């Protein structure tokens, strides 16, 4: 047999192996694509429900009434109408900070007390109640607080009967402070839900090791407990801030839109309360909220990534 015939015969013998290897390569490629294919419906849904509206908001925020790119709408929300739109952003940020810091701190202590109670029934009950109350808002929550702490509410009447007048101490349910109190009602259980897994990441062996080395309880929390929990606490507070900053129904139904908040101002534009020449200002306000929420969620992702090391 010549060398050429031997080479041809060897190629013919190798062909079946190559044909068998080709499907194997395709299977490996499909396995690598499986995660992307699995999340593709969610990505499509997110793009349709969030991506396209966000792009529309950005487009109209930077377009004037006559068409063409313009920053006039951004200038109006910063300087127009005696700064009422800027005041809306300031009030929304203040409300978000107030209703995230206070429930954030209280939620950590409540969750820790429940976690260390050694009562499975109490833990299950608290987890279930927190899941329900964290999603309880809007008109139902407003009615509950009006019936309780309103000017003719039950608790208001009881306090007045013992000589305590809420108005004399500067509290009014229909003002900024009242909205903050109502927001804390669903922010507190949300913080309990968020921080509970992080508290589960505090291993008993760490405290035992610290006690064996002679560390006091304060030293343990200062050098171990607080550094481990801090990223989760900050992440929870950022989540609470985003929730309060973008909330609309509760504040609108409680104050009838009399407080300058960015979500309420956007609602006014959607309801047709538009000044001539300022049709797209509502989009500019929404764009400003998108920027603030994007920064908030970016910071949340960073701190959660750091906190996830202790939850493995």
Tell me the mean pLDDT in the region 272-277. 65
- Is 176 domain-assigned? yes
Residues 47 and 88 in one domain: no
Question: Could you tell me the two tokens for 155?
Answer: 């608790």
Residues 137 and 99 in one domain: yes
**CA–CA distances in Å: residue 91 to residues 17, 23, 115, 250:** 71, 61, 35, 15
- Is 285 domain-assigned? yes
Residues 165 and 304 in one domain: yes
pLDDT higher for 69 or 82? 69
pLDDT confidence band for 7 (50 / 70 / 90): very low
In the block, tokens 């003719």 appear at: 152
pLDDT at 66 over 80: no
- Is 284 domain-assigned? yes
pLDDT of residue 104: 92
Range of the domain at 2: 1-61
Minimal CA–CA distance to 187: which of 179, 175, 197? 179
Residues 132 and 279 in one domain: yes
User: Is the Cβ–Cβ distance between 112 and 229 less than 8 Å?
Assistant: no
Phi, psi of 69 (to 5 degrees): -70, 140
- Is 68 domain-assigned? no
pLDDT of residue 258: 83
Q: What is the pTM of this model?
A: 0.80
Phi, psi of 63 (to 5 degrees): -125, 135
Instruction: Mean pLDDT check: name the lowest of 44-58, 69-83, 134-148, 215-229.
Output: 69-83
Residue 40 is inside which H or E element, if any?
Answer: helix 3-46
Alpha-carbon dihedral sign for residues 116, 117, 118, 120: negative
pLDDT at 6 over 90: no
In whole angstroms, give the CA distance from residue 312 to residue 296.
Answer: 25
């Amino acid at each position: 047999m010549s060398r050429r015939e031997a080479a041809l015969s060897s190629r013919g013998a190798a062909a079946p192996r190559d044909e068998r290897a080709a499907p194997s390569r395709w299977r490996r490629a499909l396995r690598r694509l499986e995660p992307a294919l699995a999340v593709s419906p969610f990505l499509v849904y997110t793009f349709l429900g969030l991506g396209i509206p966000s792009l529309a908001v950005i487009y109209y925020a930077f377009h004037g009434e006559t068409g063409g790119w313009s920053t006039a709408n951004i200038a109006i929300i910063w300087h127009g109408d005696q700064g009422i739109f800027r005041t809306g952003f300031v009030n929304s940020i203040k409300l978000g900070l107030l209703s995230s810091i206070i429930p954030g701190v209280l939620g950590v202590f409540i969750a820790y007390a429940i976690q260390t109670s050694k009562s499975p029934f109490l833990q299950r009950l608290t987890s279930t109640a927190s899941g329900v109350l964290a999603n309880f808002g809007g008109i139902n929550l407003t009615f509950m607080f009006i019936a309780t702490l309103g000017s003719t509410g039950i608790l208001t009447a009881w306090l007045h009967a013992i000589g305590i007048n809420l108005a004399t101490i500067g509290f009014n349910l229909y003002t900024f402070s009242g909205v903050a109190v109502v927001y804390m009602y669903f922010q507190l259980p949300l913080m309990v839900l968020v921080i509970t897994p992080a508290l589960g990441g505090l291993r008993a062996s760490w405290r035992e090791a610290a006690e064996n080395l002679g560390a006091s309880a304060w030293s343990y929390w200062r050098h171990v407990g607080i550094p481990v929990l801090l990223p989760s606490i900050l992440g929870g507070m950022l989540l609470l801030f985003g929730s309060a900053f973008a909330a609309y129904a509760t504040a609108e139904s409680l104050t009838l839109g009399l407080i300058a908040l960015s979500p309420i101002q956007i609602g006014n534009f959607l309801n047709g309360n538009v000044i001539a020449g300022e049709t797209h200002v509502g989009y500019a306000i929404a764009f400003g909220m998108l920027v603030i929420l994007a920064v908030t969620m970016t910071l949340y992702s960073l701190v959660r990534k750091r906190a996830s090391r202790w939850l493995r």
